[in-house]
Amino acid sequence: MFRKIEHIGIAVKNLDAANAMFGALSQLGLLKTEEVETEGVRTSFFKLGETKIEFLEATNSESPIAKFIEKHGEGIHHIAFDVEDVEAEKQRLQDAGFEFISTEIKKGADNKLICFLHPRSVNRVLVELCQENL
């Protein structure tokens, strides 16, 4: 079961410029930045209430973010939902007929275990399931 919107991911060409712009726009301070080498991405987070805004910048041309920007340009990339048990939620959704980009659960940014539903099974929206990695 989804517990809350964990974050909204936004693909950007320049993470530093996006951080400066969003900081000025929102008057929120930058929560943190980190690199996820396995995904070829640098990320930053701003927190608003219980929800975060995540900016994602590709670190190489083969990164999913680089490919997304090449195809769609900068903009909203995904919406992430917090779940208690990502493995159980993935199985529940597979059983209900939803398609996943990969059935592998990976370690993502912000100390999360993650997996992504394929956009073609959820009205062309990339959906991420996130569980705190305890």
Concatenate the DSSP letters of all residues of 12-59 into one string.
Answer: ES-HHHHHHHHHHHH-PPEEEEEEEGGGTEEEEEEEETTEEEEEEEES
pLDDT digits (tens, 9 = 90+) for 2-27: 999 999 999 999 999 999 999 999 99
How confident is the model at residue 133, as a pLDDT?
A: 87
**Rounded Cα–Cα distance for residues 15 and 90 (Å):** 30
From the list 33, 9, 7, the residue with the least C-alpha distance to 20 is 33
- Inform me whether the pLDDT recorded for 134 exceeds 90: no
Residue of 87, 104, 91, 97 lying closest to 120 (CA atoms): 97
pLDDT tens figures, 31-59: 999 999 989 999 999 999 999 999 999 99
Q: Distances from the Cα of 112 to the Cαs of 36, 46, 50, 100, in angstroms?
A: 11, 16, 15, 18
6-16 burial: b if 16+ Cβ within 10 Å, else e: bbbbbbbeebe
